[in-house]
Amino acid sequence: MNPTEKQFYLRSFRHRAILLHLSSDYRLADVRDVVTELRENSTHLLVCGENLGSGAIAVGGARGRHERLAALGQAMVERGVALAERGGARTRVAGLSASVSLALDLRVRKLVVVDPRGGILSRDGQRSFLNAASVSRLLRDAGRLAPWTKGEVSRLVAAVKDGVGSVNLTDAPGLAEELFTYEGAGTLITADDYCQVARLMADDFDEALTLLARGEREGFLLPRTAPERARLLLAGFGAWFEGGRLSGIAALETHRYRRNRLGEIVGLYTITKFQGEGVGLRIVDELLAVGRNEGLRAVFACTSNERAADFFSRAGFEEVPSSRAPSSKWRGRTRAGKRPRVFWRDL
């Protein structure tokens, strides 16, 4: 696990409330390491499960519910962890409903469902992200929700619509990876569009540099000098998931090509997990919109990476001879050096 990524997520969880729903298959010992880390991180944690041991507060039933909720809230704030004993639920959906009700009553914005089934699968593999609208489409075909049931997923969709900010589905072995890494290990469900694209702010520069370095290590991006990275950040855009997870970056370089009324997409990189979620296309669409607003006549991109070349072709770019790019693009390159492929899109 990358320590930088982990520290980023721990900072984002500090002083926030998280409800861990443990299915009947798991006990507190199965997630104890993550619970300890979150507690030491000053995260307010509520664990809802069965057979949680001493100190657990029984939930369920109307009588005394207000007092039980107050006691759970007090334990979350004072001790860092509150244990909610739900007893033996008759069905999985009933147990899940108990945790959802707690999250809504205590206004917990993040619900993490820890279940051996992990995330929601599709024909192409596990779904990393789903919003309420996309889940509603899946609900029309129960087979596309495997291994979850319609009743369970419907309850989770209702939760994010009613005020729970996000729901993570993961198993116990993948819990730390789901919470503390870019890649994650399960499925994230949100009410609205889970991906937002916007300009990078100064606060985002450290995280964006981490992504650039990662793209260079993977051979997806050409190595850049520190000044080149700094210029990219100033013109950069990012794609965020769940309001805080930077999953992709790119920039539109226009200064060098002002006389030509052209822009170049540079530094486009998305984390592997997010590539099937259309993150790259969202970033490119935003950069194209910026180019139109600035009166550019075309945008181009250069790459020697086959995967990146396929992406630009799918995004509506046409491969053109390298001579089509402005001469300033190649200034400083040796004649013997092989030029990258050039992809062009008129605006």
Tell me, yes or no, whether 181 and 207 share the same domain: no
Reported as a single tens digit per residue, the pLDDT across 245-282 is 788 899 999 988 988 899 999 999 887 665 555 778 88
Q: What pLDDT score does 345 carry? A: 94
Does the pLDDT of residue 191 top 90, yes or no?
no
137 or 202, greater pLDDT: 202
**Whole-number mean pLDDT of the chain?**
84
Tell me, yes or no, whether 43 and 154 share the same domain: yes
Whole-prediction pTM: 0.69
Long-range contacts of 312-321 (CB under 8 A, 24+ apart): 312/343, 313/343, 315/280, 315/281, 315/284, 315/345, 316/345, 317/343, 317/344, 317/345, 318/343, 318/344, 318/345, 319/343, 319/344, 320/344
Tell me, yes or no, whether 185 and 200 share the same domain: no
Tell me, yes or no, whether 200 and 189 share the same domain: no
60 or 94, greater pLDDT: 94
Out of 164, 193, 222, a domain closes at: 193
What range does the domain containing 69 cover? 3-193
CA 185 to CA 8: how far, in whole Å? Answer: 17
Lowest mean pLDDT among 65-74, 90-99, 135-144: 135-144
Q: What pLDDT score does 243 carry? A: 55
Does the pLDDT of residue 305 top 90, yes or no?
no
Tell me, yes or no, whether 103 and 53 share the same domain: yes
Domain holding 212: CATH number? 3.40.630.30
Residues 169-188, mean pLDDT to the nearest whole number? 87
Structure token digits, residue 41: 């991180």
Tell me, yes or no, whether 222 and 168 share the same domain: no
Domain holding 73: CATH number? 3.40.1160.10
Does the pLDDT of residue 101 top 60, yes or no?
yes
Residues 277-296, mean pLDDT to the nearest whole number? 88
Out of 193, 223, 253, a domain closes at: 193
Residues 231-256, mean pLDDT to the nearest whole number? 84
**What is the total count of domains within the chain?**
2
Q: What pLDDT score does 175 carry? A: 94
Does the pLDDT of residue 105 top 60, yes or no?
yes
Tell me, yes or no, whether 149 and 201 share the same domain: no
User: For the stretch 121-138, what's the b/e string if a residue is b when 16 or more beta carbons lie within 10 angstroms of its beta carbon?
Assistant: beeeebbbbbbbeebeeb
Tell me, yes or no, whether 139 and 200 share the same domain: no
Out of 193, 211, 241, a domain closes at: 193
Share of the chain above pLDDT 90, in %: 26
Q: What pLDDT score does 58 carry? A: 77
Tell me, yes or no, whether 49 and 186 share the same domain: yes
Tell me, yes or no, whether 177 and 248 share the same domain: no
Residues 298-312, mean pLDDT to the nearest whole number? 88
Q: Binning pLDDT at 50, 70 and 90, where does residue 333 land?
A: low
Query: Hey, what amino acid is at 94?
Result: A
Q: Are 283 and 237 in contact (CB under 8 A)?
A: yes
Q: What pLDDT score does 39 carry? A: 92
Tell me, yes or no, whether 101 and 249 share the same domain: no
Alpha helices (H) along the chain: 3-13, 32-40, 65-79, 92-105, 132-139, 150-162, 175-180, 205-217, 226-234, 279-293, 306-314, 327-330
Q: What pLDDT score does 18 carry? A: 93
Tell me, yes or no, whether 203 and 302 share the same domain: yes
Reported as a single tens digit per residue, the pLDDT across 137-169 is 777 765 667 788 888 888 888 888 888 888 999
Residues 326-343, mean pLDDT to the nearest whole number? 74
